[in-house]
Amino acid sequence: MGEGMTQRPRVEWAPEMLRYDFGRGHPMAPDRLALTIDLAAELGLLEHVDLVAAEIADDELLATVHEPAYVAAVRRAADEGVRDEARGLGTADDPLFPSMHEASARVVQGTVDAALAVWRGQRTHAVNITGGMHHAMPGAASGFCVYNDVAVAIRAMLAEGAERVAYVDVDAHHGDGVQAVFWDDPRVLTVSMHESGRSLFPGSGHPDETGGAGAPGSAVNLPLPAGVGDAGWLRAFDAVVPAVVRAFRPQVLVTQHGCDTHGLDPLSNLRVSVDAQVLVARRLDELAHELTDGRWVAVGGGGYAIIDVVPRAWARLLAVAAHRDVAPGTTVPQAWRERVAQQYGREGPDRMSDVAEPTFRAWRSGFDPSDDVDRAIRATRSLSFPHLGLDVDHD
């Protein structure tokens, strides 16, 4: 570890983060964040991390990714209520709210601070569960995302000398905004494992999207058929992600942990358990320790089952980052469940897990051409692996 580096992870959090709020009835409710932090506190996890409050990113930092005219439009939307649907502002997905610029810029600063703390060797791990706004484009809001905190953070590390940054996105939706920003940049590998764009927004992320002319192989996309559960999702991860990340030899690993892959999530058609999500988080932590001297930046993302899924998934993500164990059979603390009942008039989950232990067949067990997941895996390996010097059949 570098000088001053510590295993105690940095977690970006302050109540001001809850101001990223599209309003009553919108799927991306800020309650999911408050419930996550409350659950982590009840589990004793916050005793093993350092909470740090982010400031608001300035326009100069935002302009490393976003067009100045777009930032100005976001400010007008926030301050004057001026809609600009051509820039995605004031749509059903991204309705206007008074603190739109300030709240979105604070999310950006949080992820940038997390990334630079890791890159500068001050921390091995850093987490921003409020981040992961992977759909935002340089000149437009999209899919509940106003500013692309991940892209700005990666650009900040590149500006400080990073030469190879790997970004892995396991949200149910394709990480199209991050891919678009780095499409032609060979210093950044973007890997997205998601539900196929044939059945889910944003409609992109097909296997033949492998990077621009100046960076062939810099994008890896693994679209999965609707209905995939733990076994297929974990098999797909095993078959693609470790190999391409190892081949890229990153200096730092950035990961997006949208938990909308869960079977209870209302905005996707996947059937993944919290336990499988946590297993993938552990595998990514292990990859960071194997390849990047532990440099790992994790962000949140999608997740719209705000009581039953998000708090458990992201509290356990914090546990993984802190190298603390939350056993599968752990009971959800009664105090947290009582607060849920009082606030929402319903019971919350009683266990931190969905299943005892998710299982899957490793890719080395062989390709099954009759299986939809295997065909999806094979398509991605066939189109992406040769660019990275990998053997389609054996690596």
Closest CA to 90 of 106, 102, 109, 74: 74
List the strands of the sheet with 296-299, edge to edge: 50-52, 10-12, 125-128, 296-299, 252-256, 165-169, 188-195, 219-224
Helix (H) or strand (E) holding 298: strand 296-299
- What dihedral do alpha carbons 76, 82, 85, 88 form, nearest 10°? 40
CA 265 to chain CA mean position, Å: 16
Cβ atoms of residues 314 and 36 within 8 Å: yes
Active-site residue set: 135
Closest CA to 162 of 298, 295, 9, 321: 295
Q: Please give the C-alpha separations between residue 239 and each of 167, 189, 363, 367, in angstroms, as whole numbers.
A: 17, 17, 5, 10
CA–CA separation, 116 vs 156, rounded Å?
Answer: 7
Q: How far apart are the first and last CA of the chain?
A: 29
Residues with Cβ within 8 Å of 38's Cβ and at least 6 positions away in sequence, in order, are 311, 336, 339
Say whether the peptide bond before residue 225 is cis (omega within 30 degrees of 0): no
Nearest 5°: the CA angle 280, 283, 286 is 155
Cβ atoms of residues 291 and 245 within 8 Å: yes
Give the side-chain half-sphere CA count within 13 A for 331: 4
Cβ atoms of residues 316 and 281 within 8 Å: yes
CA–CA separation, 219 vs 217, rounded Å?
Answer: 5
Closest CA to 309 of 361, 268, 345: 268
